[in-house]
Amino acid sequence: MSNLFGINGVRGVVNETLTSDVALKLGRAIGRYYDGTVAVATDTRISADMIKNAVIAGLLAEGCDVLDLKIVPVPALQYFVKTHDDVLGGVMITASHNTAEYNGVKCITSTGDEIGEAGQKKIQENYDSDMPSHANRIGTVTQILRGGEEYINGILEHVKVNDIRRANLRVVVDCANGATSFTTPALLQRLGVYTVTLNANPQGEFPGRPSEPTEENLSDVIALIKTAGADLGVAHDLDGDRVSFISNEGKFIEGDEALAIMARYVLSRKTGVVVTTVSTSSVVEDVVKENGGVLVCTAVGSPVVAKRMRVENAVFGGEESGGMIFPEFQYCRDPALAIARMLECILKYGPIQEQVDKLPVYHMEKRDVFCPEDKKEALMEHILSKCKEENIDTSDGLKVFYDDGWVLARPSGTENKFRIFSESTNKKKATSRANEYEKYALGFLFSI
Ligand code: MG
């Protein structure tokens, strides 16, 4: 298996492309790379133990000591690795929002960041080299049951606990039967929030709903909001690095809108740079500017956003797909802190639906065009040649700006898709431009 790493680490179908043999060999490759103590955790998939134990065997064979954190969300593992100086790296066994037959391996650096390209390349080289173990000792495994607790304590240090406790708030939380089942309800309890919990029964079989916290997958939590008299609904993905919000009126809050609301709150406390990606709605730019901040856009991907945030010394960052990054805590998507901060937003600005209703209105049309991997480059070049004369940004795909909005066309990093985003203050224009680009892409794909 060559080129193990994709945009989100190693992913594969268990017992097909991601076998126990691959996981063992990958564990050895990672062990040679970190060459010290490594913390390991999983989400709640049924294949978690199989892949984890194979990876751990590889780490031990290369002389690494292993701290097994069991099931914790990705950001809890990242926090653990960052805050324990003797831990040189982390390994998360997860396939995030992929369906149940998938699993994967994500590596974390000693600073708690997702591993970058250079580290992935080195691990890939170790994997391909197939050398005998370099260790002069066999590693040991220690079970660590306090990873989730340390993470919650860390978050509470950054939150207005007493103010939230006094507000008697109600929240409905949907944990996707995933890793956050062990952390988010506990955090809300510590914040004195009356909590109604859904899908917090980790069984690994996806009995509650699909992992991705999109509006169509969240009908249960949406339906409960009014009955429960909740101030907020929150929903995670399986490995707990994403969160979606539902308003007190039971309306799904788009990721862009949630980012805008949070950016306003963060900027009210400390002004500075906010980082997001080129695919985020202009609603975020408007709110950031209105509140005295500076918006910086990057290519799509939370590690890219996090990296740029370090460079810019940014006060906040995030992706519209449900990831918020708070640099005062850690440089990775942190849904649990995002929930606590959203409660602080409600204390400061009132009911969340009222905050959403006050945001500038944009219309976004999204289209996915089926496009095999080997045709993506040609299609991108074709689309670029169309727009030479216009006001464009090519930091990720092609973004074309118009007076009333923009269009972004970019190849998906994880799927056989070409994505088209069209946004405008005018709904008809957003639709007609999306149609135009979709037709243009399809025309080219059929002609080659
Ligand atoms: Mg995830």
Query: Catalytic: which of 2, 20, 47, 96?
Result: 96
Report which secondary-structure segment, H or E, holds 296.
strand 294-298
Q: What is the mean pLDDT of the chain?
A: 94
CA distance 326 to 337: 8
Interval between CA 236 and ligand 1 midpoint (Å): 8
Q: What is the pLDDT of residue 433?
A: 95
Q: Which residues surround ligand 1, an ion (CB under 5 A)?
A: 96, 237, 239, 241
Query: What's the token pair of residue 79?
Result: 């926090």
Residues 421-442: pLDDT tens digits?
A: 999 999 999 999 999 999 999 9
Position 416 confidence tier, pLDDT thresholds 50, 70, 90: confident
CA distance 329 to 24: 33
Position 3 confidence tier, pLDDT thresholds 50, 70, 90: confident
| This prediction's pTM | 0.94
279 is catalytic: no
SS3 9: strand
Residues 334-355: pLDDT tens digits?
A: 999 999 999 999 999 999 999 9
Interval between CA 163 and ligand 1 midpoint (Å): 30
Under a CB-based contact definition with an 8 Å cutoff, are residues 341 and 232 in contact? no
Interval between CA 17 and ligand 1 midpoint (Å): 20
> Looking at residues 299-325, what average pLDDT do you find?
94
Interval between CA 427 and ligand 1 midpoint (Å): 31
The single-letter DSSP state of residue 245 is: E
Q: What is the pLDDT of residue 117?
A: 87
Q: What is the pLDDT of residue 93?
A: 97
Name the one residue in this structure whose structure tokens are 């959403």.
356
Asked whether the CA dihedral 72, 78, 82, 86 is positive or negative, the reply is positive
Indicate if the pLDDT at residue 413 is higher than 90.
no
Q: What is the pLDDT of residue 2?
A: 61
Interval between CA 322 and ligand 1 midpoint (Å): 10
Residues 19-56: pLDDT tens digits?
A: 999 999 999 999 999 999 999 999 999 999 999 999 99
Interval between CA 418 and ligand 1 midpoint (Å): 21
Percentage of the chain exceeding pLDDT 70: 98
Residues 351-369: pLDDT tens digits?
A: 999 999 999 999 999 999 9
Position 1 confidence tier, pLDDT thresholds 50, 70, 90: very low
> Looking at residues 6-13, what average pLDDT do you find?
82
Indicate if the pLDDT at residue 203 is higher than 80.
no
SS3 49: helix
